[in-house]
């Protein structure tokens, strides 16, 4: 299965499944496990200092011989130093968010890295393809963390029709049904973040995982629209405070101050009421924590039965 998949051939992976590059919890433990299971594990650099990123990359190299990636937030204060580390370590795949990676593409191509930006609109996808990217991740607003304004189902086919490089669908995908839906929209692969949060290898605090397990279909909310950087998170004391301040139209600087450091507070210290529990809308359909290998194996095993269900409904 997937022997002729465009994305698998491009990256040398067994299954066209990316792990989302999640800041603070997309670590070497999770990335190496996903790569070893046949997908593409991704270290989430976030605002990680360059020295720490180098350590994470070296640990990943020690734990897997398979391709892996690093997700770089182009708004990071360390972006140039982080990019230099990626170049020196010859990271096979680089995914990017929050900006245009164009200025870094020549150097990344020189070392053989594949460059795959996250996009939330057709216009951005077309612009980045002209800079020479190898594929794009079309991320819908169902995703956890930073989001755009278009749903995955609406965004993916429009981007597929507009560009000629592989498209990876992201947002609202957590099982074989989501994978097949993405393929039916023209995607060559999928990216999952929320599903991998509930894995044994994810280092997120136990309280974080428990809160995700308790989530329902309407448990997430979007905050930060006033800042220009909206995020999807689980409802808690922090989100209610955020919404209160946004409704009062306080200065953006006050909102940014409120949000500073809150993701780490939740992921590492376990304060899921005052911290930011970034997670996608599919959290309501997840009910167990298990090894990454089992997550991917189960999805692959469920593809054929899901296909049969489609066939039966189309007779």
Estimate to the nearest angstrom the gap between the alpha carbon of 50 and the chain centroid. 20
Judgement on whether residues 14 and 106 belong to the same structural domain of the protein: yes
First to last CA, the chain: 24
Q: φ, ψ for residue 234 (rounded to 5)?
A: -75, 145
The residue behind tokens 């990217």 is 133
Q: Convert 190-223 to b/e letters by CB count within 10 Å (16 or more is b).
A: bbbbbbbbbbebbebbebbbebbeebeeebbeeb
CA 41 to chain CA centroid, Å, is: 10
146 and 182, same domain (yes or no) = yes
In a domain, 304, yes or no: no
As a 3-state breakdown, the chain gives helix, strand, coil percent values, each rounded to 5, of 45, 15, 35
H-run or E-run covering 169 = strand 167-170
Query: Within this chain, do residues 69 and 121 fall inside the same structural domain, yes or no?
Result: yes
Band of residue 252 on the pLDDT scale cut at 50, 70, 90: confident
Structure tokens at 141: 């607003």
The larger pLDDT score, comparing residue 113 to residue 46, is at 113
DSSP of 59-93? HHHHH-SS-EEEEEETT-TTHHHHHHHHHHHT-SE
pLDDT at 117 over 90: yes
Q: Sheet holding 68-73: strands in order across?
A: 17-19, 189-192, 167-170, 136-139, 114-119, 93-97, 68-73, 41-46
Does residue 161 sit within a domain?
Answer: yes
- Residue 77 belongs to a domain with what CATH number? 3.20.20.70
Of the residues 179, 203, 227, the one at which a domain ends: 203
Residue given tokens 């020189």 in the structure block: 110
Note the helical H segments in 260-315: 262-267, 292-313
Cβ-proximal residues to 140 (8 Å cutoff; 6+ apart), any chain = 120, 147, 148, 150, 151, 152, 153, 154, 155, 156, 169, 170, 171, 172
Task: Say whether pLDDT at 307 is over 90.
Answer: no
**Contact partners, residue 263, CB within 8 Å, separation at least 6:** 23, 24, 275, 276, 278
Does residue 292 surpass a pLDDT of 90?
yes
Q: What's the pLDDT tens digit per position in 216-250?
A: 999 999 998 888 889 999 999 999 998 999 888 88
Residues 187, 224 within the same domain = no
Q: Are residue 264 and residue 138 in the same domain, yes or no?
A: no
Residue 232: which domain range? 216-278
Claim to verify: residue 70 and residue 169 sit in the same structural domain: yes
Q: Is the model's pLDDT at 315 over the cut of 90? A: no
Please report whether residue 266 resides in a domain.
yes
Q: What share of the chain in percent tops pLDDT 90? A: 79
Domain assignment of residue 298, yes or no: no
Judge if 145 and 268 occupy the same domain: no
Are 124 and 27 in a shared domain?
yes
Question: What pTM value is reported for the model?
Answer: 0.93
313 within a domain of the structure (yes/no):
no
Average pLDDT of 193-222? Answer: 96
Is residue 210 assigned to a domain? no
On whether residue 114 sits in a domain, the answer given is yes
Structure tokens at 199: 């894995």
**Residue at a domain's end among 171, 203, 235:** 203
Phi, psi dihedral angles at 197 (to 5 degrees): -60, -40
Among all chains, which residue has been given the structure tokens 């039965």? 305
Dist. CA 230–CA 148, nearest whole Å = 8
Count structural domains, the chain.
2
Cβ neighbours for 69, distance < 8 A, ≥ 6 positions apart:
18, 21, 31, 40, 41, 42, 43, 91, 92, 93, 94, 95, 116
Residues 98 and 136 in one domain: yes
156 and 261: one domain? no
Contact 35, 12 (CB under 8 A): no
User: Do 90 and 130 reside in the same domain of the chain?
Assistant: yes
Same domain, 49 and 94: yes
Q: Does 32 map to a domain?
A: yes
Helix (H), strand (E) at residue 136: strand 136-139
């Amino acid at each position: 299965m997937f022997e002729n998949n465009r994305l698998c051939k491009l990256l040398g992976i067994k299954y066209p499944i990316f792990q989302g590059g999640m800041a603070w919890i997309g670590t070497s433990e999770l990335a190496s496990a996903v790569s070893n299971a046949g997908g593409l594990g991704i270290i989430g650099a976030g605002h990680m200092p360059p020295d720490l990123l180098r350590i994470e990359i070296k640990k990943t190299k020690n734990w897997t011989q398979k391709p892996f990636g690093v997700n770089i937030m182009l708004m990071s204060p360390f972006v140039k130093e982080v990019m230099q580390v990626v170049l020196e370590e010859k990271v096979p795949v680089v995914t990017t968010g929050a900006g245009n990676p164009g200025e870094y593409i020549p150097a990344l191509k020189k070392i053989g890295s594949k460059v795959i930006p996250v996009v939330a609109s057709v216009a951005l996808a077309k612009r980045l393809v002209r800079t020479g990217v190898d594929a794009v991740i079309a991320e819908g607003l169902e995703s956890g963390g930073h989001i755009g304004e278009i749903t995955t189902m609406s965004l993916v086919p429009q981007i597929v029709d507009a560009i000629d490089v592989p498209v990876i669908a992201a947002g609202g995908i957590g099982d074989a049904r989501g994978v097949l839906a993405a393929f039916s929209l023209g995607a060559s692969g999928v990216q999952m973040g929320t599903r991998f949060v509930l894995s044994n290898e994810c280092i997120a605090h136990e309280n974080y995982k428990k809160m995700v397990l308790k989530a329902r279909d309407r448990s997430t909310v979007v905050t930060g629209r006033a800042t220009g950087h909206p995020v999807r998170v689980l409802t808690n004391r922090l989100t209610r405070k955020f919404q209160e301040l946004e409704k009062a139209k306080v200065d953006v600087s006050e909102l940014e101050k409120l949000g500073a450091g809150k993701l780490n507070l939740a992921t590492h210290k376990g304060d899921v009421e005052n911290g930011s529990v970034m997670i996608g809308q599919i959290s309501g359909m997840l009910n167990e924590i298990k090894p990454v290998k089992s997550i991917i194996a189960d999805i692959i095993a469920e593809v054929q039965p899901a296909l049969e269900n489609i066939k039966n409904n189309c007779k």
